[in-house]
Amino acid sequence: MANISLSVIIPSKNNKYHVSDIIKRIAAELPEEEVEFIVIDMNSSDDSVIWALEEIKNNNLRGCVIQSGGGSISSALNTGIYKSDGKYITFVYPSRMYKDYLAEYLRTAEKTAAEFVFAVPSQTSGTASDSDFFRKKDNGCIDPAELMTELIYSRVFFDFTAVMLKREYLLRHHIKFYEDCHYGYVEAFIYNVLLHHPQTACADIRLERHTEGAAVKDTGTENVNCYERIDAMLKVYDALKLQRRENLKLLELFEYQKLPSVVIGVVDLLKKQGFSSQAIQKSLKQKGYSRLLQVSRCTTPALRKKVLRCRFLPWLYR
């Protein structure tokens, strides 16, 4: 069997011809690479599976379609990881497709021996430290612990769905998506990747969205599942205490910046969905999430203000 450079894992449900378009675009972008396409079908009721199979077969590409049943998208992505044979793995969502970036990711990985590759953030906080952080070192790599710190403080941003990872690294450290999580599962996965200190590189490319024919993402159940993001981050925090227990600064940042910011994010989402402050406070208390609304010297002033208002003046919280 030929060496496979990249496994492209595509979760799909009722995406019509969009998956076949994704396969066509990536195959055209990487004509010199051995690529396999793993489409994880999540009980589609349309002809999207047939379209995908025909695209693979008619163009003599390597790939398959796997039926994942009615499980979560996290379960589908895990299936893709374990079924893949590529040196590297990437995930492509029909609802969030980018133009011509994988070739640069592969070049970056080859040059730096990276196990985790992402693109230059599309947004930063605009401070001087941002340019300093992304000024590459001699080996072109970034310290994962420093990157986690920047992510926790929301000083840097990159699309968690547009990353590339070394397959052997994921398997060696048993890193997978939380299958019981429908909201925040990708964010948790990226944090778990960084916890094991991968060789990390930032590709010198700006992501540009493919908007033509993009599939519509169903977000109708966000308010129902939003608490799962808190649960996912608590699992990450437990893993952090095991994997990086010597890094007291990172532990404090996660406990007093990341966790309260996630709870506040959920509160903001529920407020947007029309839930009352009283109902939100009662729910947080019942689920035990109120205890996460703690602050310390590492909490940003803006978050501190929101946390204190949410705890002590919830009827004034906006």
Q: What confidence category does residue 133 fall into, taking pLDDT thresholds of 50, 70 and 90?
A: low
Nearest to 33 by CA among 98, 94, 107, 96: 107
Average of per-residue pLDDT across 145-174: 93
User: What is the pTM assigned to this prediction?
Assistant: 0.90
Give the CA distances from residue 60 to residues 49, 80, 103, 244, 281, in Å, rounded to whole numbers and listed in that order.
Answer: 17, 20, 20, 46, 57
CB distance 121 to 158 below 8 Å: yes
Angle (CA) 41 104 188, round 5°: 50
pLDDT at 7: 97
Query: What tens digit of pLDDT does each residue of 98-122 get?
Result: 999 999 999 999 999 999 999 976 5
Q: Look at residue 110 in the predicted model and tell me its pLDDT.
A: 94
CA distances from 85 to 196, 199, 267, 298 (A): 22, 20, 41, 43
Query: Which tens digit of pLDDT belongs to each residue from 189-233?
Result: 999 999 999 999 999 888 888 876 554 454 334 445 789 999 999
CA distance 284 to 288: 6
- pLDDT reported for residue 128: 40
